[in-house]
Amino acid sequence: MSDKITTKESSRRLPPLLRRAWYSLNQTFRHRIAHLGITPDQYSILRWLHEGDVRGLTQQTITDLMASDPNTITSILRRMENAALVSRHPHETDRRARRVRLETKGHRVFTEAYAAARMLQEETLSVIPESRRARFLADLDTVAEACSEAANRKKPA
């Protein structure tokens, strides 16, 4: 038996499939929004802010939604604040927390990037028959939840 893995075998494994899909989608989106001066991660933050509380979201909430670490999010938010996309304000009840709000420029950039995101999603999903798309997305959500739960489980000692 050979140790060599064929392309067909490796293409049917969950991790390489998810990685290839994510990488291709992310790179394509990056190119399509480059003219707006934002990254896919910044778009995600703009989207969370657009969909979230009108008072803004705390940096911790953004960190949790992005499944990232606080230092990375702080760095991204600093760049977004310097670009006048967002502003950060003291939280009204928690002195340690900061609320992040979408600014006018952030709304405008989000609207344009959202159109690009929708178009890319439609193009990408067009390879799946329309009757199966909702089920595919529901199944993908189930897989994402299972991955998240597995990551949060305690590792054996």
> How confident is the model over 64-101, as pLDDT tens digits?
999 889 999 999 999 999 999 999 998 888 888 889 99
Which of 124, 150, 119 minimizes the C-alpha distance to 14?
Answer: 150
pLDDT reported for residue 1: 47
Q: Which CATH architecture has domain 37-150?
A: Orthogonal Bundle (1.10)
DSSP string spanning 102-129? E-HHHHHHHHHHHHHHHHHHHHHHTTS-
Sheet arrangement for strand 98-102: 57-58, 98-102, 86-90
**Full-model pTM:** 0.82
Q: What phi and psi, each to the nearest 5 degrees, are found at residue 89?
A: -135, 155
In the chain, the amino acid numbered 49 is L
Q: Count of CB atoms within 10 A of residue 38's CB?
A: 23
Interval 108-136: pLDDT, tens = 999 999 999 999 999 999 999 999 999 99
Give residue limits of the domains in the chain: 37-150
pLDDT reported for residue 107: 97
